[in-house]
Structures are given as C-alpha cells and as structure tokens.
Amino acid sequence: MGREDTGSRDQDKVIIGIFHSVSGCDAVIFAPMLSNIRIVLVETSHPGNIGAVARAMKNMCLDSLWLVRPKVFPHADATARASGAHDLLASARVCDTLDEALMGCRLVVGASARLRTVEWPQLDPRECAEKLLPESEQSEVAVIFGRESSGLRNVELDRCHYLVHIPANPEYASLNISQAVQVITYELNMAEQSARKLSTGPAEQDLASMDEMEGLFRHLEQALDDIGFSNTRQSLKLHRRLRRLFFRARLEKDEVHILRGILSAAQGRKSMRSE
C-alpha cells in the first residue's frame, strides 16, 4: 500500500459514509445479529494483524473481537493497521483460554485451510453465514481464526460445530488472517442485509451453550471411564466422534440435562452434575 495524501483520505471517508448509509451498517441498531457474532483470534503473533482484522470487521459492521493469548497487545502497530477502527481494539476482550472466549456461544465455526485426519462438517463462507446468522438472532456465536503460521490445532477444532474453508487458487492458497476475516465478515454482512429484506427468523429453540456442551463432554468422558468403556489407545478418537455426533444433534439445554442424568445414573453417583 502506498502513502495517501490527506485529500484522498477525506474523499475515502465521504465515499465510505455514503456506502454505509445505503448498504446499512445502521441496521445493527434494529437487528442484533451481527453484534452477537464474535470474531475470535487465537495466539496472533503480529499485532498489526489484529489491527487489520479490526478494520475488516468494522467495514462489515461487526464489532465483537476476542483475542486468545495474543503475543503482543495492545501495540502501536495494531492501532496503525486498524485505520480508524480503534474502538474495536479498545473493546476487544483478551482471554487466557479458548473456552473462556467461547463461553455463552451456542454455535462455533472454525476457519481451516487444510483437511484433517478427523473429518468435521465443512462449509464455504456463504454457507457459514447462512448457518451463523439465524443463530445469532437468539444467542452469541463465534468464528475462530488460528495462528498465522499453523492455524488451529485439533484440540481447538474439537470446540467447533463446523469448519469453514475459503476456496482459493489450489496452486497458491495464501490468504493472510485479515483477508480471511474480510471474506467471512463480508458474507455475514450480506446475509444480514438479505435477512432484513425478507424479515424472516428462525423458530425459538433453547439450545445449549458451548460451556454447557463442554460440561457434558467432560461428564461423558468420566462416565465412559467409570463404566470401563474407554481405553487409552482409542479414547481420543472415540471422544472426537462423540463430539461430532452431539454437535450435529444441536442439543437443547433440557436435552443436555437429560443426558447428564442418564450418565449420573450409569455411574451410580451425581458428583459431576454441578458443573
């Protein structure tokens, strides 16, 4: 990017202001969907990338930025690359763990550029937006982006209901993190505008949050061990497959309680019901 003179920056601000008034960032006031979508960055190494992500988000009317163990934040490079989206940096939540960043979310999508040994349901960016937006009318949801060099680890993908993959040139698939965020947030913004025009919404469901699901998975792991079903060699693969099964089912809160009651009965105790 070359240097811009003051006049060209002022013109850009006018153009951007007109675009927003026509395309509807103000719509967030009337529909909370986009404000309920968290963009979660895991262990970002360069603070400039955090700023560039904030800029990408603000352009597409998203404002909920969560950072898991960033290497350096806050930092002047982040502020410079944010290019006016400093309010998103100021309100960004910094977390020690991914579970903390996902607490309260009931749908989680992880961004991945490569196939994994365990297959997760895969979405393209448009399908991702179509999944996330209806859910975000009723609860917070999240899209997770991994490290610049290595992406998300399998243990982090275990927290995801779906993966989103951005189709790119197979001979040169080299999007940086802010470009990936820009693609996903663009699709979310477009889906939100389409939803407003149609004025339709999903049926009410009291779905389990991410922390409630993690409580179920911990209880399930302990119960399988107690009844002698698990073995050390196969347990990791087994638990990942069980996660996939329950994530596909999209359990409601009452269903989680029922399953945990069954597990407690199988164990002959109720010590984990309080989690």
Please report the domains of the chain, with CATH numbers, ordered by start residue: 10-198 (3.40.1280.10), 210-267 (1.10.8.590)
Residue in 195, 210, 187, 166 with CA at minimum distance from that of residue 57: 187
**pLDDT-derived band at 269, boundaries 50, 70, 90:** low
Chain centre to alpha carbon of residue 111: 8
- Alpha carbons 159 and 111: distance in angstroms, whole number: 12
pLDDT tens digits, residue range 124-147? 999 999 999 999 999 999 999 999
Place of tokens 């410079």: 80
pLDDT score, position 11:
43
Confidence of residue 26 (pLDDT cuts 50, 70, 90): low
**Distance from C-alpha of 21 to C-alpha of 13, rounded to nearest angstrom:** 12
pLDDT at 202 over 70: no
Element (H, E) at 141: strand 141-145
- State how far the Cα of 149 lies from the Cα of 143, in Å rounded to an integer: 18
C-alpha 264 chain-centroid distance: 31
C-beta of residue 83 within 8 angstroms of C-beta of residue 50: no
Tokens 């859910």 belong to residue: 135
What pTM was estimated for this model as a whole? 0.80
For residue 202, count CB atoms less than 10 angstroms from its CB and return exposed for 0-12, middle for 13-18, buried for 19 or more: exposed
CA-based nearest residue to 53, from 78, 87, 17, 16: 78
Average pLDDT value for residue range 188-215: 84
Instruction: Decide which of 206 and 66 is more confident.
Output: 66
Average pLDDT, the chain: 86
Contact 156, 68 (CB under 8 A): no
- In the beta sheet, which residues pair with residue 68? 42, 95
Question: How far, in Å, CA of 208 to CA of 164, rounded?
Answer: 21
